[in-house]
Amino acid sequence: MTRVAIQGEAGSFSHAAAIAVFGPDTRIVACVTFEDLFRAVEKDDADRGLVPIENTLAGSVHENYDLLSAHSLHVVGETALRIRHCLVARPGGTLGDIGRVASHPVALAQCRRFFTEHPALLAVPAYDTAGSVHDLMAGTLAADAAIASALAARLYGAAVLAEGLEDHPENYTRFLVVAREPVPVWGASKMSLVFTLPNTPGALHRALRVFAARDLNLTKIESRPLPGRPWEYLFYLDVAGDALESTHDALRELRTFAPMLRVLGVYPDRAALSAATATHS
Amino acid sequence: MTRVAIQGEAGSFSHAAAIAVFGPDTRIVACVTFEDLFRAVEKDDADRGLVPIENTLAGSVHENYDLLSAHSLHVVGETALRIRHCLVARPGGTLGDIGRVASHPVALAQCRRFFTEHPALLAVPAYDTAGSVHDLMAGTLAADAAIASALAARLYGAAVLAEGLEDHPENYTRFLVVAREPVPVWGASKMSLVFTLPNTPGALHRALRVFAARDLNLTKIESRPLPGRPWEYLFYLDVAGDALESTHDALRELRTFAPMLRVLGVYPDRAALSAATATHS
């Protein structure tokens, strides 16, 4: 059974993503921080780690970009999970019984319209979505309901009173799967890499041309500051393409002028995974 | 007297930046949130707004990128402020009297080595750097000292016991100056713009080529999610160059394939401002 490190409690959206990728019997290793998650995989306390890297409303999770650089794990897969917020109450509860609704502030912020349409409900910030459901059922939550995943409701024996509370239905989180060792990939694939560039005009354009000239598609670019080097950056790219030879060529050319270049991983691209995601979600 | 909207209290690093740009007699308009700051300039409650946009250790302030898009203010200037953390106590206090040191969690995180070297001191999270000094002098702080700017110590009549507490001396925050109306610029300049791109291979490379082909230097790239369009992005660029005609040409070409393009502002580049910054800091 695959042991998968996630940040957060059982029933979190990371847990739902782990089930989507590894199946319902996945053994999760719950970690308090993202740093703990990376360490759990490094120390072999888990076989894989599931790292949220971007959300289609909130943007990149920059802490996890920094952790990919600081640790030497390999990206071996990715998945995207639709984030569907549910109103979760004790079994037998109804909307009329509810005054206070607890959840993580990010989840509350994504459900503003629901609170506008239900002025009798008060949003109460809490430390975690799934943790709020746990506390609700344990009788220690300072609220009558929680906003969390359907998985959290199922795990803790609570009831889902309403689904799809989020303002924007196009709310997805993309997760990377990380491991101690790379996994060989055949066919269509994606590559994640990080590099620095000389501080000269046109350097970033030159780096992107390396891929564009070979018809390799750039699906994401992210920059992070280089500590100790003001106004210089680490660039993170995701590149998609099915021509392995072109990719190797591109990296060879980029290495001729990038002071630092590291391939974070090569993995099947999400298109191949999306059917599996739909089945389990 | 220029009225400058800042986020935070008098004595904050934003206040120090306002003094560096507009002089010691600047009248600050203190705002609770960044959204309030943008609104204050829009409603003419302030002539200028000072918006922190990136820090050389922590990276971009993504909320402010989003606010630049959501509002229609113009970027009319920029400055960079060296962030120097001071240990601030009541007048007459000494290091030996101090047990608890309060500050904003980001400031505490930037001074980890100082706490390691002084194991008798306990770091206590507070809501604000300058606010901690205010509360220290008012006798309402649950600590004996604060970490804040030298300006905060001066404003509230406190004493600086130690300077340069930060782990990394290369700790700068770049601020943008925003206004209701654009300001004409002569000579060397920078341009900030935001655009979307068609979701096709090579589109970002093509956009950057528009500038590289004209020897215009790209000093910063940032991407933010496009709400409702999963895996598509808003791109923010800063472009430096002294050839106005080339810049206009580049924009004309970019407009032929960018579905959305907005120039956020044209302003003198920081090189021209750095002398002024040094004088006041």
Q: Using the beta-carbon criterion (under 8 Å), do A218 and B212 form an inter-chain contact?
A: no
Q: CA-CA distance, A57 to A116, in Å (whole number)?
A: 20
Q: CA-CA distance, B38 to B31, in Å (whole number)?
A: 9
pLDDT band at B36 (very low <50, low <70, confident <90, very high): very high
What pLDDT, on the 0 to 100 scale, is given for residue B273? 45
Of the candidates B13, B34, B14, B280, the one whose C-alpha atom is nearest the C-alpha of residue B148 is B13
Extended beta strands in chain B, E state: 3-7, 27-31, 48-55, 59-60, 74-82, 86-89, 100-103, 122-125, 145-148, 159-163, 172-179, 189-195, 217-225, 233-241, 261-268
As a whole number, mean pLDDT of residues B114-135 equals 94
What pLDDT, on the 0 to 100 scale, is given for residue B279? 32
A130: left (phi over 0), alpha (psi -120 to 50) or beta: alpha
CB of B211 within 8 Å of a chain A CB? The answer is: yes
Q: What is the torsional sign of CA B65, B67, B73, B77?
A: negative
Q: Identify residue B250 by its one-letter amino acid code.
A: A
Q: Which residues of B touch A58 (CB under 8 A)?
A: 225
Q: Using the beta-carbon criterion (under 8 Å), do B217 and A201 form an inter-chain contact?
A: yes
- Interacting residues of B4 by C-beta distance below 8 A, sequence separation 6+: B18, B21, B22, B26, B27, B28, B29, B46, B47, B48, B49, B50
Other Cβ atoms less than 10 A from the Cβ of A169: the count is 11
Q: Tokens standing for A261? A: 């270049």
Of the candidates B29, B37, B73, B35, the one whose C-alpha atom is nearest the C-alpha of residue B180 is B73
Query: B131 or B279, which is more confident?
Result: B131
What pLDDT, on the 0 to 100 scale, is given for residue A242? 76
Q: Identify residue A220 by its one-letter amino acid code.
A: K
Extended beta strands in A61-99, E state: 74-82, 86-89
CA distance A30 to chain B (A): 25
- Report the share of chain B in percent with pLDDT over 70: 95
Lowest average pLDDT, out of A14-23, A258-267, B13-22, B244-253, goes to B244-253
Q: CA-CA distance, B17 to B4, in Å (whole number)?
A: 10
Q: Using the beta-carbon criterion (under 8 Å), do A218 and B229 form an inter-chain contact?
A: no
CB of B180 within 8 Å of a chain A CB? The answer is: no
Q: CA-CA distance, A18 to A48, in Å (whole number)?
A: 10
Q: Using the beta-carbon criterion (under 8 Å), do B56 and A230 form an inter-chain contact?
A: yes
Q: Tokens standing for B7? A: 């986020």
H-helix or E-strand spanning residue B203: helix B203-212
- What ipTM was reported for this prediction? 0.86
Catalytic positions of A: 173, 175
CATH class of A189-268: alpha beta
CB half-sphere exposure, A121, CA atoms < 13 A: 24
Q: Using the beta-carbon criterion (under 8 Å), do B204 and A208 form an inter-chain contact?
A: yes
Q: Which residues of B touch A172 (CB under 8 A)?
A: 230
What pLDDT, on the 0 to 100 scale, is given for residue B271? 60
Q: How far apart are the first and last CA of chain B?
A: 20
What pLDDT, on the 0 to 100 scale, is given for residue B242? 76
Q: Tokens standing for A116? A: 């506008």
Q: Identify residue A130 by its one-letter amino acid code.
A: A
- Interacting residues of A33 by C-beta distance below 8 A, sequence separation 6+: A7
- Interacting residues of B91 by C-beta distance below 8 A, sequence separation 6+: B157, B158, B159
CATH class of A86-163: alpha beta
Q: Which CATH number fits domain B3-82+171-183+272-280: 3.20.20.70, 3.40.190.10, 3.40.1350.10, 3.90.110.10?
A: 3.40.190.10
CA distance A226 to chain B (A): 7
* CA angle B4–B5–B7, rounded 5-degree value: 135
Q: CA-CA distance, B35 to B43, in Å (whole number)?
A: 12
Catalytic positions of B: 173, 175
Query: Which residues, in sequence order, are bridge partners of residue B203?
Result: none
Q: pLDDT at residue B272 above 50?
A: no
**Range(s) of chain B covered by CATH 3.40.190.10:** 3-82+171-183+272-280, 86-163
How many beta-carbon pairs below 8 A join chains A and B? 97
* pTM given for the model: 0.89
What pLDDT, on the 0 to 100 scale, is given for residue A184? 85
Q: Using the beta-carbon criterion (under 8 Å), do A217 and B204 form an inter-chain contact?
A: no
CB of A58 within 8 Å of a chain B CB? The answer is: yes
**Mean pLDDT, chain B, as a whole number?**
92
Q: Using the beta-carbon criterion (under 8 Å), do A205 and B201 form an inter-chain contact?
A: no
What pLDDT, on the 0 to 100 scale, is given for residue A207? 96
CA distance B82 to chain A (A): 11
Angstrom distances, CA of residue A81 to CA of A20, A57, B63, B144, B158: 8, 13, 24, 47, 51
- Average pLDDT per block of 10 residues along chain A, 281 residues long: 94 95 94 95 98 93 95 96 97 95 91 94 93 96 96 97 94 96 84 94 93 91 92 94 85 97 91 40 31
Q: Which residues of A touch B216 (CB under 8 A)?
A: 201
**Range(s) of chain A covered by CATH 3.30.70.260:** 189-268
Of the candidates B219, B234, B236, the one whose C-alpha atom is nearest the C-alpha of residue B80 is B219
B93: left (phi over 0), alpha (psi -120 to 50) or beta: beta
Q: Identify residue B87 by its one-letter amino acid code.
A: L
What pLDDT, on the 0 to 100 scale, is given for residue A281? 31
Q: Which residues of A touch B217 (CB under 8 A)?
A: 201-202
Q: Identify residue A199 by its one-letter amino acid code.
A: N
Q: Tokens standing for A227? A: 């500590």
**Minimal Cα distance from A62: which residue of B?**
B59
Of the candidates B272, B275, B274, B250, the one whose C-alpha atom is nearest the C-alpha of residue B261 is B250
CA distance A111 to chain B (A): 14
Q: Are the CB atoms for B178 and B49 separated by under 8 Å?
A: yes
The residue written with tokens 């759990």 in the block is A40
Q: Which residues of A touch B215 (CB under 8 A)?
A: 201-202
SS3 call for B73 = coil
Of the candidates A135, A82, A79, the one whose C-alpha atom is nearest the C-alpha of residue A104 is A135
What pLDDT, on the 0 to 100 scale, is given for residue B65? 96
Q: Are the CB atoms for A81 and A16 separated by under 8 Å?
A: yes
Of the candidates A234, A239, A245, A252, the one whose C-alpha atom is nearest the C-alpha of residue A208 is A239
Of the candidates B125, B133, B165, B101, the one whose C-alpha atom is nearest the C-alpha of residue B10 is B133
SS3 call for B32 = coil
CA distance B78 to chain A (A): 14
